[in-house]
Amino acid sequence: ISTAMFFLAPFSVMAQEKMSYMAIKAGAISPAGDFDDAGFESGFNGEIALGRYFDPDAAIEGGIGFYRSEANASDPVSAEDDSVWVIPITGTVKGVLPFNDVNLFGGVGLGIYFASAEVKFKDKTSGVSDKFTDEDTVFGFHVSIGANVNITPKMFLGFEGRRIWTEEAEFRGSLFGSIQTV
């Protein structure tokens, strides 16, 4: 028992030092599937996350964010500007591999994604314009991998890559049709 306590005590202290955290994340979203096929460009991604270590090697994290992507198409007769906004609410379970001032992590999680689409269409020959918006909510799954570098005992700088799979979002309208959420 004494030997076990000797080896487990440092992990207990480490977990107490890092019980909860808040992360502000900024990055880019890269469209895939139907979004990529429709010419949507990489866009802004921001998130605020709250996490809690329940062990030095494991944490849970909840976040709310914002994604945005746009696509533009034009020919001599018409022009179309499409925008998609997504507000994700996610939960992630992370496995953490702690080193001195660097923590490597990988995670899996679920999310609900509130998506909005806006399409603006203009017929250049007649000058007639049309616009519509639509919304849909889909569920998804994600995996993530990354690293955090501790700058001070209470501040870290991190990098995270995340791959998201969702149900297909259905946007109704004569111009937009049906596309898949990123």
CA distance 4 to 146: 31
pTM here? 0.78
pLDDT in tens, the chain (182 residues): 444 444 444 444 444 455 888 999 988 888 877 777 777 888 889 999 999 998 889 999 999 999 998 888 888 888 888 888 999 999 999 999 988 889 999 999 999 999 998 888 888 888 888 888 889 999 999 999 999 998 888 888 989 999 999 988 887 654 444 433 33
Q: What is the 3-state secondary structure (H, E, C) of 18-77?
A: CCEEEEEEEEEECCCCHHHHCCCCCEEEEEEEEEEEEECCEEEEEEEEEEEEEEEEECCC
**Under a CB-based contact definition with an 8 Å cutoff, are residues 163 and 107 in contact?**
no
Query: What is the per-residue pLDDT across 124-152, written as a single tens digit (0 to 9) for each?
Result: 888 888 888 889 999 999 999 999 998 88
113's tokens: 């994604």
